Amino acid sequence: MPKISEAAMRAFLTFLDLETYLQAALDWCEKEGAASLEEVVEESTDFAQSLKLKNLERKRFEKRAQEALADSRKSTAPAESLADSRKSAAPAESRMRGVSATWVLDVFPAMVKSSTGKDSPSFIEIAPFLAHGDAGIGKGKVCPRDGMPDSSIVDALFSEGNSGRSTIFLSWVWSYKVLDVCSALARWLKTQGTNASALVFIWWCFFTNNQFRIQSGGTVTTQDLCETFGDQLKKVGRMLIMMNKYRDPEYVKRIWCIFEVHMAAAESIKTELTLPDSAQEEFDELARGGLDSLSNLLSSIDTEKAEASVKTDETAIKVLIKSGAGFDRVNELVEETLMASLTQEFSRALKAKRLGNKSVDANVAAGSGGPAIRQLKQTTQLSPEFTELVEQLTNGTPEAQEKSAAVLRSLLFENAENQREFAEAGAIGPLIALLTTGTPKAQAHSAGALANLAANGENKVKVAEAGAIGPLVALLSKGTPEAQAHSAAALWNLAVNNGENQVKVAEAGAIGPLVALLSKGTPEAQAQSAAALRNLAANGENKVKVAEAGAIGPLVALLSKGTPEAQAHSAAALRNLAVNGRTR
């Protein structure tokens, strides 16, 4: 059979669902005259090995290929049925296509310069040349979504293997310059590992939406776009926020961006942040300003004043927000999401600086002995920016305490180094104090920060001995819904693989409030409470207490009505209650 091109094979292997993989492979067989789908799949397995991917990634691709082969062998449908199936699947598949990150970085900039005559125009300037108009990339190509002439860019690129099923959704602004966008994309790809660009396909409205239809205004409404953006974001399940600068970013002033962040927060979709290299000098200046600079960065978020290039879009989205969560709640969700992403970006950049300082100090230490070694040890302490966060927990205004606790919560999430360093820097005591003396927001963020600290094995004892358990238990009943969920999570982490803490948490009266949250709490609080009870029930002395507190009924109910996370923790809790206990 004809040799499958590398680009085509990359496209096959990066489809996330089996149905789309099969459709792409069958289409290729039909177009190229390949003998059978079996040969395509066999070659794709060899290709996965040749990519020299990490072992787990390679196995995942090989498994996907073998599943496709097994499925093709089972199929007895006639050729006409397969063709009809491909035809009906085409619109949905097209809407999920993303542009290849490799193509964007390697090909697109030169194409832009050739068509516009500019090195780095904005995407608003590029659109009439490449997204629509007589020279558009999709001009004259049949759109698989409506069968009419003129397609999206991703549909035009698909036959070349330069688009595929989206692996990440990009939230950005059309006024960005193309070289800044490529710089930001390249920076993010560096964090994704070897060969990442070849495996990333981006749901990017400029490339994925059919700009010909949007320009005509005849078949695409604002409501259509809202549904498209929301639905595709949920299907992709991962969002990359791209900002062009730290100070006064355009991003927070655009209603579409705010809408996308709101959707991601509401659906608990993972978000990441990237900026171009040109933002680094600005970051250095902001970092010197510490927490105030980070706070001021987000102070301009005002959904009610945000704008869109198309006035009808702006009006429609604002009506949607006003009739739903409301402007204030959306502002809060957007600020929390961006705060989490920005603090992670600040953390990475500051640590890179510290590593650079350590390298310099190590060279000095090698030549001069004792004093230089002392200097090297000093560089391992928290940076001034991080030290300020800890100080603000005690000495800051109520608003500063809230923001410091929120930033700490983000910095501590799944980061063992930060968890260790902030504990050593004295963050535990002030966070515990805020559980009782702080504002409701400060209490919730502090409970979340303590939950993340307690995820570190060394910190479990420190947090418990510092007196956190009592205030956390109190918040289970008296705190805000967010504080209840974070407190339950903190008690869960404190109880994991720690028999002494399991006893202390039970003796502090946590079981009753945790059981109550199984029925009355938010979905997140239900899941975290089930997890906490799961670990408490791992202790023999607690099994009867948990059962007698009435946990079994609500846990059973969550098996069918809870979130997937709540279902998993409830099942584990019931298992722990049943093992070697009187509650069997």
pLDDT, residue 290, reads 53
Cα separation of 228 and 507, whole Å? 51
| Helix/strand/coil for 229 | helix
- Burial of residue 117, with CB atoms counted within 10 A of its CB: 0-12 exposed, 13-18 middle, 19 or more buried: exposed
Neighbouring CB atoms inside 10 A of 583's CB total 16
- Burial of residue 461, with CB atoms counted within 10 A of its CB: 0-12 exposed, 13-18 middle, 19 or more buried: middle
Q: Which two tokens stand for residue 133?
A: 């108009």
> Does residue 556 fall inside a structural domain?
yes
Q: Are residues 506 and 574 in the same domain?
A: yes
Domain holding 511, by residue range, is 495-584
- How many alpha carbons lie under 13 Å from residue 115 in its C-beta half-sphere? 22
CB 342 within 8 A of CB 294: yes
The dihedral of CA 433, 435, 436, 441: what is its sign?
positive
What is the enclosing helix (H) or strand (E) of 25? helix 18-32
What is the enclosing helix (H) or strand (E) of 520? helix 511-520
pLDDT, residue 375, reads 30
Q: How many domains does the chain have?
A: 3
- Burial of residue 299, with CB atoms counted within 10 A of its CB: 0-12 exposed, 13-18 middle, 19 or more buried: exposed
Q: Are residues 527 and 584 in the same domain?
A: yes
Q: Are residues 449 and 499 in the same domain?
A: no
> Does residue 460 fall inside a structural domain?
yes
Among 242, 239, 256, residue whose Cα is nearest residue 306: 256
pLDDT, residue 266, reads 77
Q: How does 20-52 read in b/e, with b if 16+ C-beta sit within 10 Å?
A: bbbbbbbbbbeeeebeebeebbebbbebbeebe
> Does residue 39 fall inside a structural domain?
yes
> 514 CB contacts (<8 Å, ≥6 apart)?
476, 488, 491, 529, 532, 533, 536, 551
CATH code at position 524: 1.25.10.10
pLDDT, residue 197, reads 72
- Count how many residues are written for the chain: 584
Q: What amino acid is encoded at 576 in this protein?
A: N
Mark the ranges of the chain whose per-residue pLDDT is less than 50: 1-2, 15-19, 47-58, 61, 68-69, 72-89, 219-220, 357-380, 581-584
- Rg for the chain, CA atoms, rounded: 27
pLDDT in tens, 36-46: 555 555 555 55
Q: Are residues 457 and 503 in the same domain?
A: no
User: What is the SS3 assignment for 107-139?
Assistant: CHHHHHHHHHCCCCCEHHHHHHHHCCCCCCCCC
Cα separation of 29 and 515, whole Å? 57
Q: Are residues 460 and 499 in the same domain?
A: no
Q: What is the DSSP letter of 4?
A: P
Q: Are residues 463 and 501 in the same domain?
A: no
Q: Are residues 463 and 499 in the same domain?
A: no
Q: Are residues 581 and 503 in the same domain?
A: yes
Alpha-helix runs per DSSP H in 269-326: 280-297, 311-323
pLDDT, residue 420, reads 87
First to last CA, the chain: 61
What is the enclosing helix (H) or strand (E) of 190? helix 178-190
